[in-house]
Amino acid sequence: MSAPTSSADTFAARFPFLLIASGVLFYGTGPVLARSSETTGALISFWRLWFGVGLFVVALVVHRLSGRELGTARGWGWAVAAGSAFALNQVLFFSAVKRTSVADASLMSTMSPLVVAVLAIPLFGERPARAFRWWSLVATLGAVFVILASSSRTNGDLLGMLMALASTIMFSGFFLISKWSRPQIPVVGFLTGVMGAAAIWVTLYVIAIGASPGSVSGADKWRALAMATIPGALGHVVMTWPLRYLPANIPPLMRLAGPVVSSGLAWLVLGEAATWVHLVGGAIILGGQAGAILSPAGQELMADARR
């Protein structure tokens, strides 16, 4: 585990699980805000990202004026790469939410631990034992059930579910790059680079499809600003800061509470009802991930995080 280099890093090293849990709560508001908008996924992503750029540029200026370093050139290169993955994640996820539902799209995010577990082997040398992998497979089968069962319903949408799956893969890539680059660039600098790169890519996409950012209503712009502030700024900061002090496999497992938060908010705010598909599929997914965490391999990873 890397040694803390600032008071904020010291806090992150002492309370990494508290910060990750807070990030899950903040992230859970994003799907509901996207679903309640009246514009397209691409346009809500456009405004959400450029609002995010503004917030992080201000934070970066304050960071620099306080005499802190901006990070290495390699770290900024990783930030641009992460921003490219995040741009795809944004467009795919919010488009999926518009085509399906908050519960469907959010449940797909539970496949992220499997993607991260595979890639963490060559990247970080993490090799969870067999029990961890088998329980992760159970969770994956639950996610597959959600895809097939949701698309077979009268109001299901297979393309929307596949978009949600692709979005999950992109977010896993973004997460792994975030952890890899954490020692090379401060969080504020990294997230500024991420938001800037993502905003540029999404802008090019919006131009390519002929969409008009000016057509977005004032109410949806306020939603985009809320998305940039809560899941975008607060969520990313508290989720990214402790990554250097945790094994790569742990944060994605903790993010399993995300669909619960999103679905609960969607029920309260949007009146979306959970069907038997969500209940059964969600139970399989959560059961598989709980088994992975409670297995000896999972407990060993948790112990490593405390050292």
Supply the pTM of this predicted model: 0.79
Is the separation of the CB atoms in 285 and 256 below 8 Å?
Answer: yes
CA-closest candidate to residue 208, choices 200, 218, 197, 216: 200
Q: From CA 189, how far away is CA 42, in angstroms rounded? A: 25
Q: From CA 243, how far away is CA 262, in angstroms rounded? A: 23
Q: What does the pLDDT look like over 139-150, one tens digit per residue? A: 777 776 765 665
pLDDT band at residue 42 under the 50/70/90 scheme: confident
- List the structure tokens of 3: 């040694």
Share of the chain above pLDDT 90, in %: 26
Supply the pLDDT for residue 156: 58
Q: How many CB atoms lie within 10 A of CB 294?
A: 14
Supply the pLDDT for residue 149: 64
Residue with tokens 């959010």: 106
- List the structure tokens of 229: 């502030």
Q: What angle, rounded to 10 degrees, do the helices at 73-99 and 29-36 form?
A: 50
The conformation of residue 295, written as its DSSP 8-state character, comes to: S
Q: Is the pLDDT of residue 302 over 80?
A: no
Average pLDDT of the chain is: 82
68: helix, strand or coil: coil
Q: What does the pLDDT look like over 181-230, one tens digit per residue? A: 888 898 999 999 999 999 999 999 999 989 899 999 999 999 999 999 99
210: helix, strand or coil: coil
User: Between residues 98 and 243, which one has the greater pLDDT?
Assistant: 243
**C-alpha triplet 161, 163, 167: angle, nearest 5°:** 115
Q: What angle, rounded to 10 degrees, do the helices at 276-294 and 296-306 form?
A: 70
Q: From CA 224, how far away is CA 61, in angstroms rounded? A: 23
Supply the pLDDT for residue 154: 45
Written as one letter, the residue type at 135 is W
Is the separation of the CB atoms in 306 and 247 below 8 Å?
Answer: no
